[in-house]
A and B are shown apart, each in its own frame.
Chain A
Amino acid sequence: DAKTTQPPSMDCAEGRAANLPCNHSTISGNEYVYWYRQIHSQGPQYIIHGLKNNETNEMASLIITEDRKSSTLILPHATLRDTAVYYCIVRRSTDNYGQNFVFGPGTRLSVLP
């Protein structure tokens, strides 16, 4: 599986967009990019995932570069409740065995009032 690189920490002002980058330069064609976040001492929460195209849902947008070597998670209007560790994961699935997620250290996002 491709490895990911994320900045260890970021700050964002409340109400502003939070843009969290992730590098995955060794990603292969059949690997998805997933984003999860973990608020202190809770289970990780799924945010969004994509393969090639940009994706948007009620929580966030995922922008994947054309060469797929990097991506950006965008929280359009960050709130204090978005303070969490954000994990970018690249994973290829084998249908017989489910998905094997390998979490990197993630980015600790602090939303400041």
Chain B
Amino acid sequence: DTEVTQTPKHLVMGMTNKKSLKCEQHMGHRAMYWYKQKAKKPPELMFVYSYEKLSINESVPSRFSPECPNSSLLNLHLHALQPEDSALYLCASSLQGSSYEQYFGPGTRLTVT
């Protein structure tokens, strides 16, 4: 199984809502990632988890709150988002080490109204 799953596929939320994005993998990967991708732009790294601990936060606003409850799950909690936060949110996972590729999920298309 080389699949990373993400739910939901699409999400529309208001600026006062609280919602969560979910990512799951069963490949035994201990590194998991959140990326944000705006239209016609490359993915930008947001967070990296290594062994369920947050290891990299790329200066992401606090309205985005990641959580890694176990080695297979990664959540991204959203609160008080702005319309400019509308984007494709991608999750990825990998083994540790420089020679291992990242596997990406299909993404969640988020629209903030």
Contacts and interface: CB of A to CB of B under 8 A. Distances in A.
Interface of A: 30, 32, 34, 41-46, 49, 51, 85, 87, 91-93, 95-106
Interface string B54-67: 01100000000000
B90 A100 contact: no
A110 B101 CA distance: 25
B104 A98 contact: no
Interface stretch (B13-21, B44-52, B69-77): B44-52
B81 interface: no
B101 A49 contact: yes
A99 B107 contact: no
Contacts of B33: 98, 101
Given A96-B55, A103-B42, A103-B44, A43 B105 contact: yes
28 contacts: A32-B99, A42-B106, A43-B104, A44-B43, A44-B90, A45-B104, A49-B101, A92-B98, A93-B96, A93-B99, A95-B96, A95-B97, A96-B55, A97-B31, A97-B50, A97-B56, A98-B55, A99-B98, A99-B100, A99-B102, A100-B45, A100-B56, A101-B33, A101-B45, A102-B45, A103-B43, A105-B41, A105-B42
A8 to B, nearest CB: 11
B98 A32 contact: yes
Nearest to B91: A43
A87 B96 contact: no
Contacts of B111: none
Most A C-beta atoms less than 10 A away, residue of B4, B92, B106 = B92
A62 to B, nearest CB: 12
Contacts of B109: 41
A91 to B, nearest CB: 8
Contacts of A43: 4, 90, 92, 104-107
A93 B107 CA distance: 24
